[in-house]
Structure 1
């Protein structure tokens, strides 16, 4: 596969996350709480990826390998927990802005750990994405929000753990088949959610049957597919570009909120969507240019 194809896979992974918020709102409006929705999401997501893993290529793993993968899956679960906690005290538009800081945190992590200095194009891309996220989140049209310290901390923690998830998905277990690796990462996320949220209500049959349709949808697009797509694409493009590509999450969230929920999306929000898509394109311009191979110049004496 070519580099742009791996980039497209990561982009689609970000789109999957963008399709979640709309159906989370539908689940909440149906009367289910955070623990029930999140617990069912990770439970169904883990089941789906493990079913796929049964029929996919596998590699014999040692206990240390399994332990590393499970631990690497902790940020998968923490991101959801931290983000939902931030929503308890912050307006949704402000909470997603804090989460969106993963865009520059990922580039910074790549600089620190991989010694890859961000190019001017990447810095410009990040700037465009940040501006676009502010517009797309509707902060300008909805006015000022009350900012709580607790919500701010939870929101920034969700950005850090999301970055860690992207970072680890591309650096851990590179020689392990993608589906098998994703299954263990997802399991690590499930264990984290079960420990922290303790969704005991899911063991009640009426609650489980009611939340199951939402959990199945959210599990597929929020737990099963993104780790799989990221483990395929991230090792080939790096966390810096990867975080830029996963910015596709916010435009999809805005579009679906308008189409499914019928929410009114202002012109500034649509402008933000355009900015984000433009920022992603700017971050990928270099990949679109064919690499020129150096051709040795023959000396005149040879003619």
Structure 2
């Protein structure tokens, strides 16, 4: 249960990010400044957690043996580079998703991000060289139907949407699929604090290469950007990766996808309440369908297990 709760809370944290980003854009900040300050905050918090973890491990071993010992979390540089590489999809997802918010409403951007569900199925099918079964095709049909409703396509048609934003939103879904794929497989035997620290480091370095952090020297950081960077870093770059690192290896990718769906209603609800975007009841029905589509594979598995046990 604690691993399930860990992933659930991580997904809920992700759900509030887009509202903060749209507010930051409204204050005049740019993409590189928003994502850069987010990952810098996450980097500081993550390595602070690493230092605290080392200190706690050292105290435990001192109390057990009476002598100070070196932390057992020794990583080779190969493992560190692997973790940093696994962290880059997080940064890329943020860049693509946040850029889509410049062109399309928050409620639509989160729906597009949630296409990671069927994209993840496609990636898994290709990697395993297996054709999706009937249950998966039914799941995809539910997801597509829910997406058409939730995105407002049924009500407004396609002509109302900015296709640049739509493309960025779909690309963020591809990147998020890769993040879920790699987050549970990147050196899972290492303590989550160390894994998260190196993954955030990789993401931050990538963003700083693409968008040099001029906000560190031009004084922007000490304005409202510091507040936005802290909120985004805490709820986006720090807490969710740590919680996912704790939970994903224990509950698997399937259950992670289901729990990750909690991000969707949180983001849409905040779009309506905070950003005052219009979200119709038909769109809410689409949100429910998308969540059902995400959950349906695991629900079918549970039903099969129950039937097998009863037989």
User: TM-score by structure 2 length?
Assistant: 0.80
| Equivalent position of 1:214 in the other structure | 228
Moved more, 85-94 or 64-73: 85-94
- After TM superposition, give the deviation of residue 252 of structure 1 in Å: 1.0
Q: How does 1:219-298 map to 2 (within 5 A)?
A: 219-286=233-300, 288=302
| Equivalent position of 1:298 in the other structure | none
Q: Does 1:45 align with 2:60?
A: no
Going from structure 1 to structure 2, the CA distance change for 1:277 and 1:97 (only over 3 Å counts) comes to closer
| Equivalent position of 1:192 in the other structure | 206
- After TM superposition, give the deviation of residue 59 of structure 1 in Å: 0.7
Report the 3-state secondary structure (helix = DSSP H, G, I; strand = E; otherwise coil) of the residue aligned with 2:261: helix
- After TM superposition, give the deviation of residue 185 of structure 1 in Å: 0.7
- After TM superposition, give the deviation of residue 187 of structure 1 in Å: 1.1
Q: Is the 8 A contact 1:248 1:276 kept in 2?
A: no
Q: Is the 8 A contact 1:9 1:229 kept in 2?
A: yes
Going from structure 1 to structure 2, the CA distance change for 1:73 and 1:87 (only over 3 Å counts) comes to same
Q: Is the 8 A contact 1:78 1:158 kept in 2?
A: yes
Q: How does 1:138-149 map to 2 (within 5 A)?
A: 138-143=152-157, 144-146=159-161, 148=163
CA-to-aligned-CA distance 1:86-105 (integer Å, 9 cap, x gap): 44555656554443321112
Q: How does 1:1-303 map to 2 (within 5 A)?
A: 6-56=3-53, 59-88=73-102, 95-114=109-128, 118=132, 120-143=134-157, 144-146=159-161, 148=163, 153-286=167-300, 288=302
CA distance in 2 between counterparts of 1:97 and 1:258 reads 14
Report the 3-state secondary structure (helix = DSSP H, G, I; strand = E; otherwise coil) of the residue aligned with 1:204: coil
Q: Which stretches of structure 1, 4 residues or longer, exceed 6 Å deviation after superposition?
A: 292-295
Q: CA RMSD in A?
A: 3.0
Runs (5+) with no aligned partner, structure 1: 296-303
Moved more, 125-134 or 104-113: 125-134
CA distance in 2 between counterparts of 1:80 and 1:287 reads 32
CA-to-aligned-CA distance 1:130-163 (integer Å, 9 cap, x gap): 3333333334344433554x65554433222211
- After TM superposition, give the deviation of residue 231 of structure 1 in Å: 1.9
Q: How many pairs align?
A: 291
CA distance in 1 between counterparts of 2:236 and 2:91 reads 11
- After TM superposition, give the deviation of residue 251 of structure 1 in Å: 1.4
Q: Is the 8 A contact 1:80 1:158 kept in 2?
A: yes
